[in-house]
Each structure stands twice: as C-alpha cells, then as structure tokens.
Amino acid sequence: MKKINSKTLKKMIVEEVAKMTGELKDTEKLAKETPETEASEFASALEQNIDFMKALNIQEARLVKKLKRIQEAKSKIGKRILKDI
C-alpha cells in the first residue's frame, strides 16, 4: 500500500468532486473547443515587447550614469560645506 500525502489527497478529492458535479471537462472536448492561433500572430507582439525592453534598459543605463554624477556632485558640495564651516 502506497502512502499519500495531504496535498495529493486534497487534489484527488477536488478532482473527484469536479467530475461528479460536471465541472471538470474532458480534455478532448476542451481541445476541440479551443481555437488554434498561428505563432506568427504573437511573434510581432513579442518582438515589440523585446524591443521596448531593450529601449528601457538603454534608458535605465543612462539614468544610472546621470544619478552617479548627481551623487558625486552632491557629495563634493557637502564636503565643501563642511570644510567651510
């Protein structure tokens, strides 16, 4: 006899209840109902998202450089203020 953990038992119970209530559909019926789409339809959207991500990475790199310059200038001014006091 094989022991069953609580997660597996709960999953089995949920599946059986779904079968009895008719909520669980047969996979063959579900496959027939699902419309097929061509991969080329999603390719352009994926390509646009990738291009946008690259552009954001470039912009992020520019902003990081600018932030470093600002932090350095702020540090120098702070040191100057402390030196003058």
Domain membership flag for residue 76:
yes
Q: Provide the domain limits for residue 33.
A: 6-84
* Dist CA 62 CA 68 (whole Å): 10
* Dist CA 82 CA 85 (whole Å): 5
Query: Do 9 and 17 meet the contact criterion of CB atoms below 8 Å apart?
Result: no
Q: Is 24 exposed, middle or buried (0-12, 13-18, 19+ CB in 10 A)?
A: middle
Supply the mean pLDDT for the chain: 84
Model-level pTM greater than 0.75? no
Domain membership flag for residue 1:
no
Which of 9-13, 73-77, 80-84 comes out lowest in average pLDDT?
Answer: 9-13
Domain membership flag for residue 43:
yes
* Dist CA 38 CA 64 (whole Å): 40
pLDDT tens sequence across 27-66: 667 677 777 777 777 788 888 889 999 999 999 999 999 9
Percent share of the chain, pLDDT over 70:
86
Number of independent structural domains in the chain: 1
Domain membership flag for residue 22:
yes
Query: Do 59 and 67 meet the contact criterion of CB atoms below 8 Å apart?
Result: no
